[in-house]
Amino acid sequence: MRTLLRSKTCFATVVLLGTIGAAAVQIPSWDAGFCADVSLWYGLVPLAGVVAVAWCRLGHAPALPQVGTLWRLLALMLLLNATTNPMFFAPPLQPQVALLSAMGCVCLLWALLGAWSLVLWVPLMFLGLAQIVSFLQYGTRFNSLVLAESFEATGEEVAAYFSLSNGALALLGVALVSWYGWMICRVLRPVGRRTLLCTGALFGTLALVSEFLLPQHRQSVEQHFWPVSEVAHLYVSCEEAVRHNIEVVRLAEGLESPAAAPSSCDTLESDSGVVVVLHIGESVRADAMSINGYHRDTTPWLRRNSRVINFPRCISAACDTCQAQIAILTNARRGIYDKTPGMQPTTGSVLELLHKHGFRVFSFFGRRCGQQLKYDRVVRVLSRVSDERFNAPGAPWTSLPDMEQVLRRHEKENLVFFINNEGSHTPFDLYDHQNPPFTPAGADFQNPAAHAEEVRNAYDNTIHYTDEFWRRICTMLSGRPFVYLYVSDHGEYLGQNGIWGRGGLGDSRTPYHETAGSRVGMFVVTSPEFDALHPHVTEAVRQLRNHAALTVGHEHIFHTLLGLFHIQTPYYESALDLCSPQVQPYDGPQPTESAE
42-51, 61-70, 219-228: which is most confident: 61-70
> Is pLDDT at 364 greater than 80 in this prediction?
yes
Same domain, 297 and 439: yes
pLDDT band (50, 70, 90) for residue 385: very high
* Domain end among 194, 229, 264: 229
Same domain, 266 and 209: no
Single out the residue of 562, 40, 577, 14 nearest to residue 263, CA to CA: 562
Domain housing 7: 2-26+34-229
| 537 in a structural domain | yes
pLDDT band (50, 70, 90) for residue 238: low
* Domain end among 192, 213, 229: 229
In 312-346, which positions are buried (b, 16+ CB within 10 angstroms) versus exposed (e)? Answer: bbbbbbbbbbbbbbbbbbbbbbbbbebeeeebbbe
Same domain, 331 and 416: yes
Higher per-residue pLDDT: 68 or 551 = 551
Torsion angle in degrees (nearest 10) through CA of 176, 104, 238, 94: -90
| 592 in a structural domain | no
> Is pLDDT at 40 greater than 50 in this prediction?
no
Higher per-residue pLDDT: 414 or 230 = 414
Cα–Cα distance, 372 to 326 (Å, whole number): 18
Cα–Cα distance, 180 to 20 (Å, whole number): 28
Mutual orientation of helices 452-476 and 400-409 as an angle, nearest 10°?
20
Per the structure, the count of domains in the chain is: 2
pLDDT of residue 237: 64
Higher per-residue pLDDT: 141 or 287 = 287
pLDDT of residue 270: 79
pLDDT of residue 366: 73
Sorted by sequence, the CB contacts under 8 Å of residue 490 that are 6+ apart come out as 283, 316, 318, 319, 320, 321, 324, 502, 503, 504, 517, 518, 520
| 587 in a structural domain | no
Single out the residue of 525, 533, 519, 521 nearest to residue 485, CA to CA: 525
Same domain, 140 and 259: no
| 593 in a structural domain | no
Cα–Cα distance, 104 to 200 (Å, whole number): 4
Q: Above pLDDT 70, what percent of the chain? A: 71
Q: Which helix (H) or strand (E) holds 280?
A: strand 275-281
Higher per-residue pLDDT: 344 or 37 = 344
The answer to whether the CB of 23 falls within 8 A of the CB of 210 is yes
Q: What is the length of the chain?
A: 596
What is the SS3 assignment for 126?
A: helix
Integer-rounded Cα radius of gyration of the chain: 30
Please provide the average confidence, as pLDDT, over all residues in the chain. Answer: 78
Same domain, 439 and 551: yes
Q: Which helix (H) or strand (E) holds 238?
A: helix 228-254
The answer to whether the CB of 308 falls within 8 A of the CB of 302 is yes
Single out the residue of 418, 144, 178 nearest to residue 277, CA to CA: 418
Kindly write down the DSSP assignment for every residue of 502-540, as one continuous string: ETT-SS-SS-GGGSGGGEE-EEEEE-HHHHTS-HHHHHH
Whichever domain contains 431, its CATH number is 3.40.720.10
